[in-house]
């Protein structure tokens, strides 16, 4: 790589999650854990200055770059100055393409926290070939969707390979507990996805296709089970309900299977759901979750109801969980895997903060740092070449170690 002014630029630093991420990076680098030159960027110089002022003494000298998400010339200038761009500017289907295009053309590595499957597929189809030529490594889904799921499966598979030398064929992820809120940006992204899906049958098919992000020649034929209703899961001895992030997470995990050097196997199966408990109470809770998700989808699809939800119930742009709520948040994900011979391996992935913001900011920050540090030697990119990658196919055990030490995630084997 040619010499760059910056190692990392946070684009969209004044967004809700961008501010949390920037604060995390200031604290991280002020502890001298790693020496990187980084900057914040966005379209409003005034807001960027206010953000920098709020960061205290450690952030006072933080460089500022001004660029608008719709201005290709400004973004190209930005991308040429840095090794890695972190984008928090969503909804990505509305504001994300020009950033991707500029990174691809300049050979700049990129990561984001998008969970918009249809948009990621569009970007893949438009820019994959050019990214391979330029050397730009594009890594979407570096937030709560889909690092815990994707790296959780990676970790479980590593446990299996160490034990028997054979990957696990069938894996389930179940959300045991989840405590956190939503921001206006996340709500806007969800609404945009559901609005587009309600009008476009192709997007509906993509959202329902677990292989939608896999290369066209993936060759997978296993019929994947997607949890859409209340069910009883005998392996977890619990009722389960749909998990709202399952669609994107499952697609990412299957793409990881397709892109991995060894892969998880042609017969690999994976699905996600929420645990709601045993007995009649567990069943009632599962049915209630199904009804709640259905009600939200109907409300988003009908314009008057959508407007009412935005005014009365949903957080507005720039709003989100308070510092106290983020600190009190947490998540506990359980993974159950079974080999073709019947051997069972169980793991859990847990986090100590609000999953969508408190923990996501740390995961996203460490993803960018890993790209800038772990995958560069003597100013030359090492590891994966240019192209669109998933977290589990571009990162490795070093990233899990980072998440454990600096993001306070826990990846643990559970006794059978």
Is 185 within the bounds of a domain? Answer: yes
- Of the residues 354, 374, 398, which one is the last residue of a structural domain? 354
Based on the domain organization, do 175 and 115 belong to the same domain? no
pLDDT of residue 2: 65
Q: Domain of 297?
A: 147-354
- Of the residues 354, 375, 394, which one is the last residue of a structural domain? 354
Two tokens at 43?
A: 């379209």
d(CA 189, CA 111): 17
Q: Which residues does 166 contact at the CB level (< 8 Å), separation at least 6? A: 160, 339, 340, 341
Based on the domain organization, do 373 and 309 belong to the same domain? no
Q: Which residues does 176 contact at the CB level (< 8 Å), separation at least 6? A: 275, 332, 333, 334, 348
d(CA 405, CA 333): 19
Based on the domain organization, do 211 and 314 belong to the same domain? yes
Q: Which residues does 295 contact at the CB level (< 8 Å), separation at least 6? A: none
Q: For the chain, how long is the longest CA-to-CA vector?
A: 63
Is 82 within the bounds of a domain? Answer: yes
Is 1 within the bounds of a domain? Answer: no
3-state secondary structure at position 182: coil
The domain that holds 91 is classified in CATH as 3.40.50.720
Based on the domain organization, do 291 and 387 belong to the same domain? no
pLDDT of residue 193: 78
Based on the domain organization, do 382 and 239 belong to the same domain? no
Is 415 within the bounds of a domain? Answer: no
Based on the domain organization, do 278 and 222 belong to the same domain? yes
pLDDT of residue 1: 57
Based on the domain organization, do 131 and 237 belong to the same domain? no
Based on the domain organization, do 221 and 341 belong to the same domain? yes
Based on the domain organization, do 74 and 165 belong to the same domain? no
Residue with tokens 């007995």: 279
Based on the domain organization, do 139 and 163 belong to the same domain? no
Q: For 331, how many CA atoms within 13 A lie in the half-sphere containing its CB?
A: 28
Each residue's pLDDT, cut to its tens digit, for the chain (416 residues) gives 567 999 999 999 999 999 999 999 999 998 877 889 999 999 999 999 999 999 999 888 999 999 999 999 999 999 999 999 999 998 899 999 999 999 999 999 999 999 999 999 999 999 999 999 999 999 999 999 999 999 999 999 999 999 999 999 999 999 999 998 877 777 777 777 777 777 778 888 888 899 999 999 899 999 999 999 999 999 999 999 999 999 999 999 999 999 998 889 999 999 999 999 999 999 999 999 999 988 887 787 777 877 777 777 777 777 788 888 888 899 999 999 999 889 999 999 999 888 988 899 999 999 999 999 999 998 899 999 999 999 999 999 999 999 999 999 999 999 86
Based on the domain organization, do 32 and 122 belong to the same domain? yes
pLDDT of residue 296: 80
Based on the domain organization, do 209 and 325 belong to the same domain? yes
Is 277 within the bounds of a domain? Answer: yes
Domain total for the chain?
Answer: 2
């Amino acid at each position: 790589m040619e010499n760059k002014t910056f190692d990392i630029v946070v684009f969209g630093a004044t967004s809700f999650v961008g501010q949390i991420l920037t604060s995390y990076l200031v604290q991280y680098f002020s502890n001298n854990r790693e020496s990187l030159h980084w900057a914040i960027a966005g379209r409003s110089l005034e807001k960027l200055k206010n953000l920098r002022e709020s960061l205290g003494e450690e952030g006072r000298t933080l460089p500022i770059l001004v660029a608008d998400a719709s201005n290709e010339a400004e973004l190209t200038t930005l991308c040429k100055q840095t090794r890695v761009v972190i984008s928090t500017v969503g909804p990505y289907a509305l504001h994300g393409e020009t950033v991707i295009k500029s990174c691809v053309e300049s050979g700049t590595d990129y990561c984001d926290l998008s969970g918009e499957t249809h948009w990621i597929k569009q970007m893949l189809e438009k820019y994959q070939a050019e990214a391979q030529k330029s050397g730009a490594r594009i890594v979407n889904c570096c937030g709560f969707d889909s690092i815990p799921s994707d790296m959780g499966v990676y970790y479980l598979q590593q446990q299996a390979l160490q034990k028997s030398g054979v990957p696990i064929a069938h894996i389930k992820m179940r959300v045991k507990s989840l405590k956190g809120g939503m921001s206006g940006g996340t709500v806007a992204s969800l609404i945009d996805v559901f609005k587009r899906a309600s009008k476009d049958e192709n997007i509906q098919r993509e959202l329902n296709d677990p292989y939608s992000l896999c290369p066209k020649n993936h060759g997978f034929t296993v019929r994947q089970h997607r949890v859409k209703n209340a069910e009883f899961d005998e392996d977890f001895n619990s009722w389960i309900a749909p998990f709202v992030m399952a669609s994107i997470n499952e697609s990412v995990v299957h793409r990881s299977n397709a892109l991995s050097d060894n892969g998880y196997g042609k017969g690999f199966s994976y699905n996600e759901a929420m645990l709601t408990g045993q007995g009649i109470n567990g069943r009632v809770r599962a049915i209630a979750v199904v009804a709640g998700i259905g009600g939200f989808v109907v409300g988003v699809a009908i314009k008057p109801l959508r407007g009412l939800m935005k005014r009365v119930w949903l957080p507005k742009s720039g709003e989100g969980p308070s510092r106290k709520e983020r600190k009190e948040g947490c998540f506990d994900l359980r993974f159950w895997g079974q080999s073709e011979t019947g051997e069972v391996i169980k793991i859990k992935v847990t986090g100590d903060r609000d999953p969508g913001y408190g923990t996501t900011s740390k995961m996203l920050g460490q993803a960018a740092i890993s790209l800038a540090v772990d995958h560069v030697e003597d100013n030359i990119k090492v590891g994966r070449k240019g192209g669109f990658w998933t977290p589990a196919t571009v990162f490795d055990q070093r990233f899990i170690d980072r998440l454990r030490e600096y993001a306070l995630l826990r990846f643990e084997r559970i006794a059978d």
